[in-house]
A and B are shown apart, each in its own frame.
Chain A
Amino acid sequence: MRVPRCKGMRDLLPEDMAKFRHIEGLFRGCCLKQGYEEVRTPTLEYLHLFTATGTLTPGMLGRVYSFLDWDGWSGERVVLRPEGTIPAARLYLENLERNDMTKLFYVENTFTFEETGEENRERWQCGAELIGSSLPLADVELILLAFEVLEKLGIGAVEVKLSHAGLIKALMVELGLGPAEQTEIWDQILEGNVKALEEVKAGDADLQRALPILLDIKGSSPGFVENIRALLGKALPKLEPSLNNLATIAELLGAMECPYQIDIASGRGFEYYTGVMLQFYAAAQSVGGGGRYDDLIPLVGGAPVPASGFALYMDQLMDLFQIEERSPEQRILVGSEGGDVKGMKACLEAARFLNEAGYHAELDLGTKAVTGYRWILSLPKEGRFQLTDQSTGVKSEVASAAEVLEILGGSG
C-alpha cells in the first residue's frame, strides 16, 4: 500500500531544491552584505503569542495549526509558526533587545491551513526585519534589498505596490467608525476586500469625494499624493503624517529609479502593520509582501521600538525561476570490472582524489544510464585504469588519478 503525502503538502524534488538553494543563497548573500544577520525561530510557538489584537486576525487564527503539546494539560495551545515576523519580534525581545539597531533575516517555513489542499499549507519564505529605525530610509533600504534579490534572480520585471496602514487607519477614524468597526473593516481590507472601506457612507463631503480617488487610482509619482492632499479638505491634518511618509518613500524610490505604484487598495497582509505596506511583484505575479510595524514589539511585551520588514515567497519564486540544466560536462563515473577489494579500493581512492580536486566524480554502483557522464574511468580486471571521453569516444590508458587530472584539465 502506497501512502501519499499529506494533503496540501509539497515534496521538494532535486530540481526544486536546486532552485531553493540558489534563491536562498542569493538572498543570504544580499542580506549579509548589508549587515543583516541570519536567525531561525523554532517551528513551535505558543498560540498566545499571536492572539492579542493587532497581531493575527481571528480569520487567520482560525487557520493556524494549533494543538496541545504532550505537556499541554494546562489547555494552552502551541502552533506551527503561521508567519515569520511575530516570532522574529519575540526572538528579538528574548535575546537581542539591548541592540539599538537589529537587522535580521531568515529562511523559514510557515504553516497555514488552506481549504482545498490545492495550495500549499506549508510555505517557505525569505524574510528580513529591520528593528530599531522609524526612518523612511529604512523602509526604502528594505524595498531595495528585495529588489536586488528579485532582479538578480532574473525572473521578469519587478515592481512594488505601496499602501499605507497609517493612512487607512486614520481614514477610518475620520469616517467616524468605532474601535470595533475599525478592527472589523481593517481585517476585511487585510484579506483583500478594500471595498469594505468604500462602502462606509460617512464622513464629510470632501472625504467622500476623495475616498474613491484614493482607493481606485494607482499613483506613480509623489504628485498623486499631492493631489489627494488637495482633495481632502478638513480631514487633511489627521491624514497628513501618513501622506507625508508615503510621499517621502515614493520620492526616494523615484530618485533610485525603483519602479513603484501607489495603490492604497493593494494593502493586505497583517493586522500589525502601522505604516507603509508593500506588495512585491515579478513578472506580474505576487512574490512578496511586507510593511512597517511600529506597534508590534510593544504588543508582544517590549518597549516602543519601531520596525519594518518584508518576506519573499519562496514557493512562487521557485515556480518563476528557471535553473540551467546540469550539464554532463566533466562528470566522471568511476568503476571497476572485477569485484575484488583491491579494485574497489582503487576506485574509491580515485573518486575521492577527483572529488578533492574539485571534480564531480561518482562511483559506478551498477548505473545503467551512463549518458549523464562525459567521462568513464574504469578499471579492468587486469591492468590499469582506462578513461573514456564519451563526447569523442577517445579512450586513454592512465597510470594514476593524477594523470586523469591532466587529461581533464587539457580537455577544457
Chain B
Amino acid sequence: MRLRLALPKGRLLAETAALLERTGLELLDYAEGSRSYRPRSAKFPELFLKVFQEKDIPIQVAIGNYDLGICGLDWVEELSVRYPSGDLVKVGALGYGKSDLYVVVSSHAGVTAVGEINDRFDTVRIVSEYQNLAETFALKMRLRRFKVLPIWGAAEVYPPESADVVIMAQTAIDEFAKQGLIPLARILASGAFLIANRNSLAKADMSKLITCLRPFEVEAEEAQPLPSVAGVKSKIALKNEKGVRLALPDGHQQRPTMEFLVKAGLNIGGYAEALETRRPTPELPDVSVKVIRPQDMPLQVANENFDLAITGEDWLKDHVYRFPSSPVEEILDLGFGWVTVVAVVSRDLPLDDTRGLSDLVKEGRLPTIRVASEYVNIADKYARDKHLERYKVIPTWGASEAFLPEDADLLIENTETGETLNRHNLKIIDTLFQSSACLIGNRNTLFQPSKKGRIEHIIKVMEKVAREKVSK
C-alpha cells in the first residue's frame, strides 16, 4: 500500500523540511517558494506526499485521505474538540514550531483574570481563528452570554473596539505587550506535531516512516510564566468612538487598495506596500483605520464593528449566501482587483460540466462529490443550484488547487488569468461570477447623523476614482 503523508506549507515549512532532511527522506521539491504541491522522496519513492495549508491537515488525516501528517497541535485540537470521536491520533510532538494558544484581552479592558470575564461584559465578544476552541472555552468558563466571531487572521488588532476576548496563537509571549494585549491564560501548549489516521495505524505498516520521524522525545520546554498584569499600560491609544471606522485589506489587495486611496486623495500613513502596522493613521480627522483580512470584513461590518470596509465582491457574496438578511451591502464597485470565480475539475476527468460529476455518482463510480473551496457558502449554494448528487463541501484555507484530483473532485476557486489552474492540470467547467474590490457598509448604521457627513465624503472621493477605473 502506498503511504500518504501531508506536509505543511507556511510557518512550519522550513523546520519540517530540515527535519525530513535529517531523517534522510531526501525530499525533492519541498522548500519555500517551490511551486509543486507534490514533493517526492528519493528514499521512499512509493511515498505520496502533498503540501497543504497547516490548518487543512488535521481534517485530511482524520477523513483518511492521508495516513500521516505534520501540523501544529493547535489545529489538531481545534478539530478534535468539535469532533471528539474522529479518527485522528496524536502521535508525538516534533519539538519545533512552538506557538501556544492564549486567552487575551486588551489592556484597556480592565480585566486581570479569566474569572472576571463573565462579570465584566454583558455579552462577551470572542474573536478567534479557532472558533471551536473558543466556544469550548466559553462553555467551560460558563460564560452566560457570548458570541464567537470566526476570523481568518489578524486577531491581535480586534480588541478592544471590535472584540472583548481573543483566543490566539503567539510564538513569543512578550509580543503581547507590544500589541497592547494581556494574556490571561495559556489554554494550549502547541507546536509541530505528528498525527496519524486511526485506521491507517491499525492496518498499514508505517513503521519505517514513523521511525524516520521519531525525534519527538524532545524535552518539554518549561512554559514561560504569564507576564504580570499589574501596571501594563496600553501603547495603543483608543480612537474616538464617534469617528468613522474603516477596515482596509492586507494581503494581495493591499497594494492596489493603497494606490486607489492615494488617487482618491485619502492618504493613510503606514498603509503601504508592505504591512507596517495594523492600525495606520489616516490624514482625515475622525477616521480610524484597521488592517484586517478581506475575508473577515463582511461579518465585521454586519456586526457594526466597522462602518466601511474595502473587500472583494467574492467575500461579500460568500457572507450574504450564508446570512441572506445581513445588513451588509455593496456601496461602490471600486474597479480593481478583478478575479473570476470558477468551477474547476481535474483535466483527467472525462467531463465538461457538473452534470458529468452527478453522473459519476449515479453510476456508482464516485461515492460523493467532494467540493473544495475557500468560499464555503458560495460552493454550497453552487452545489445546491446545480442539483449536484450527494456532495460535501470541504473548506480549505488556501492552496486549494492542490486538492484536485486526489482529495477533491470539484473546486470553486478564483482566478485572474487561469495560469495557475493550467499549471496544476485543471480545467474550468463553469464561470460563477466576476468579482472586484468593493466598498461595503452596514445599511442600518451607514447614515447615522453623527457620521453621515464624513461617510458621504469618503464615498464621494472614492466614487470619482472608481468611475474612472470602471469605465476604463
- Partner-contacting stretch, out of A51-59, A126-134, A164-172, A344-352: A51-59
Judge whether B112 is part of the interface by a CB distance below 8 angstroms: no
Q: Which of B135-143, B170-178, B198-206, B237-245 contacts A (4 or more CB under 8 A)?
A: B135-143
CA distance A200 to B331 in the complex (A): 63
B323 close to A72 (CB less than 8 A): yes
A69, closest chain B residue (CB): B323
B291-325 CB mask vs A (1 if < 8 Å, else 0) is 00000000100110000000000000001001111
Query: In chain A, what residue has the closest Cβ to B142?
Result: A53
Q: Is B336 an interface residue (CB 8 A)?
A: no
Query: Does A51 contact B136, Cβ atoms closer than 8 Å?
Result: no
Q: Are the C-beta atoms of A75 and B149 separated by less than 8 Å?
A: yes
> Which of B147, B324, B362 has most chain A Cβ within 10 Å?
B147
Contact with B along A63-77 (1 / 0, CB 8 A): 000001011111110
Is B144 a contact partner of A48 (Cβ separation < 8 A)? yes
CB–CB A73/B326 < 8 A: yes
The size of the chain A interface, using a CB distance under 8 A, is: 17
**Complex: chain A residue closest to B389, CB-CB:** A1
**Bound: A68/B147 CA distance, A:** 10
Across-interface contacts of B361 in A (CB, < 8 A): 1
When the two chains form their complex, are residues B139 and A70 in contact, meaning their CB atoms are under 8 A apart?
Answer: no
The answer to whether A73 touches B302, judged by C-beta atoms less than 8 angstroms apart, is: yes
A3 → chain B closest CB, angstroms? 8
A-B contact count (CB 8 A): 55
Nearest-CB distance from B78 to chain A (Å)? Answer: 15
Known A62-B136, A73-B302, A74-B303; judge A52-B323 contact (CB<8 A): no
Bound CA–CA A374/B449 (angstroms):
80
Q: Mark A226-248, 1 if CB is under 8 A from B, else 0.
A: 00000000000000000000000
List A contacts of B322 (CB < 8 A).
68, 70, 73
A61 near B139: Cβ-Cβ < 8 Å? yes
Complex: how many Å from CA A37 to CA B126?
A: 41
B145, CB-defined interface residue at 8 Å: yes
Residue contact B139 to A58, C-beta cutoff 8 Å: yes
Query: Which residues of B are found within 8 Å of A73, using beta-carbon distances?
Result: 299, 302-303, 319, 322-323, 326
Nearest B residue (CB) for A61: B139
Contact A70 B324, CB 8 Å, known A51-B145, A115-B85:
yes
> Closest approach, in angstroms, between the C-beta of A137 and any C-beta of chain B?
34
CA distance A70 to B322 in the complex (A): 6
| CB interface residues, A 34-54, toward B, < 8 Å | 48, 51-53
Tell me how far the C-beta of A6 lies from the nearest C-beta in chain B, rounded to whole angstroms. 14
- Closest chain A residue to B149 by CB distance? A75
- Expressed in whole angstroms, the minimum distance between the Cβ of A12 and any Cβ of chain B is 26
Contacts of B302 in A (CB 8 A): 73-74
B445 to chain A, nearest CB (A): 14
- List the A residue with the shortest CB-CB distance to B81: A62
Most central of A51, A73, A115 by chain B CB within 10 Å: A73
The residues of B that contact A71 with a CB separation of less than 8 Å are: 323-326
Separation of A71 and B145 alpha carbons in the complex (Å) = 18
Tell me if A51 and B299 are in contact (CB < 8 A).
Answer: no
Considering only residues 94-148 of chain B, those with a C-beta below 8 Å from chain A are: 123, 125-126, 136, 138-140, 142-148
Q: Using a CB-CB cutoff of 8 Å, which residues 6-49 of chain B contact chain A?
A: none
Chain A residue nearest to B319 in the complex (CB): A73
Known: A48-B144, A48-B145. A75 touches B139 (CB 8 A): no
Q: How far, in angstroms, from A61 to B81 measured CA to CA in the complex?
A: 13
- State in angstroms the CA–CA spacing of A68 and B145 once bound together: 15
Known: A1-B390, A51-B143, A75-B125. 12 other contacts (CB 8 A): A51-B144, A51-B146, A58-B140, A58-B142, A62-B136, A71-B324, A71-B325, A72-B323, A73-B323, A75-B149, A75-B150, A76-B146
Can you list 8 residue pairs at the A/B interface with Cβ under 8 Å?
A: A51-B143, A68-B322, A71-B325, A73-B302, A75-B299, A75-B303, A76-B123, A76-B145
